Amino acid sequence: MFLPIRDDNPHTVTPYVNYGLIVACIAVFWWQNGLSERAGELAVFAYGLIPGTLIGKVFLPEYVHRLPAPLTLFTHMFLHGGWLHLIGNMWFLWIFGDNIEASLGHMRYLAFYVICGLAAALGQIMLDPISEIPMIGASGAISGVLGAYLVLHPRANIKVFVLLIIFFTFWNLPAWIVLGFYFLMQLLSQAASTAGEPGVAFMAHIAGFVAGAGLVFLFRKPLVAVFQPPHSQAFAAETHRIGFRRRGVPDYDPNKGPWS
């Protein structure tokens, strides 16, 4: 098990836009969660991105009160398919988004985020343009944030939680390893997936990541450097054993006999 916890980059600005994006996604999911099962399914078809509707090859029943297809390029970014989907996306946005907002500025960060989300959507559409499956989630846009982070802070250290059977440890891993592993997993997962089948939109992740890595050169502030240095030691580790202690039983000391 491998889970990023935080990075070593200092906070230089208050990331109002990043906070706003997180709050907006949580609010929309709260609304989704309050719907009945049937209404929730209809909401996904109404506000999710269905590639086939954009080119006029797919038509939904009249009882689905759907937005105009071009608007769903934006609305799909704020819908999520469950608590794990939401928490995973918001966790990554919380860890990595603040430094990108500081490097771009508030309004440029918002524009960058939306454009990365659009690029991610277009990548998935190009893979299967007549798909009838709704695509939802912020992960395409967030992948763009990860791509930008890799360009600006490849040597920043990410504290990750690693579970190894009965041990767990915290490692400081360079961002190029953590984010490079993320991107590699998207490539491998896409290669193993079947077009037209429901599941994770890996191509959207790939397209968003590549877009973010390229667009950050245009959106960053003039004095913001790329490939910035780390702020802590790489590969430092803290290891802990998972165990249980019986109440009232002292720890065993090999230097003491049973009558000591």
The dihedrals phi and psi of 94, each to the nearest 5 degrees, come to -65, -45
| 3-state SS, residue 60 | coil
Q: What does each C-alpha distance from 35 to 40, 71, 127, 158, 168 come to in angstroms?
A: 5, 22, 32, 38, 39
Decide if 258 is inside a domain.
no
pLDDT greater than 80 at residue 249: no
Q: Residue 179's domain spans which residues? A: 2-241
- Average model confidence (pLDDT) across the chain: 88
- Domain CATH number, residue 146: 1.20.1540.10
The pLDDT of 67-88, averaged and rounded, is 94
CB atoms < 10 A from the CB of 154, how many?
A: 18
Decide if 128 is inside a domain.
yes
Decide if 109 is inside a domain.
yes
Q: pLDDT (tens digit, 9 = 90+) per residue, 20-60?
A: 999 999 999 999 999 999 999 999 999 999 998 987 777 78
Instruction: Quote the Cα angle for 77-82-84, to 5°.
Output: 100
What span, in angstroms and rounded, lies between the C-alpha atoms of 136 and 168?
Answer: 33
* pLDDT greater at residue 162 or residue 204: 204
Tokens 């690029």: give the residue. Answer: 119
Q: What does each C-alpha distance from 4 to 151, 163, 226 come to in angstroms?
A: 18, 12, 22
What span, in angstroms and rounded, lies between the C-alpha atoms of 70 and 53?
Answer: 9
Decide if 126 is inside a domain.
yes
What span, in angstroms and rounded, lies between the C-alpha atoms of 227 and 190?
Answer: 28
Q: pLDDT (tens digit, 9 = 90+) per residue, 133-154?
A: 999 999 999 999 999 999 999 9
Decide if 162 is inside a domain.
yes
pLDDT of the residue at 259: 40
Written as six digits, the tokens of 191 are 């290669």
Least confident of 26-40, 83-97, 115-129, 196-210: 196-210
Decide if 252 is inside a domain.
no
Written as six digits, the tokens of 75 are 């609305």
Decide if 65 is inside a domain.
yes
pLDDT greater than 70 at residue 239: no
Decide if 227 is inside a domain.
yes
* pLDDT greater at residue 110 or residue 246: 110
Q: How confident is the model at residue 117 (pLDDT cuts 50, 70, 90)?
A: very high
pLDDT of the residue at 16: 97
The pLDDT of 109-124, averaged and rounded, is 97
Q: For the chain, how many structural domains are there in total?
A: 1
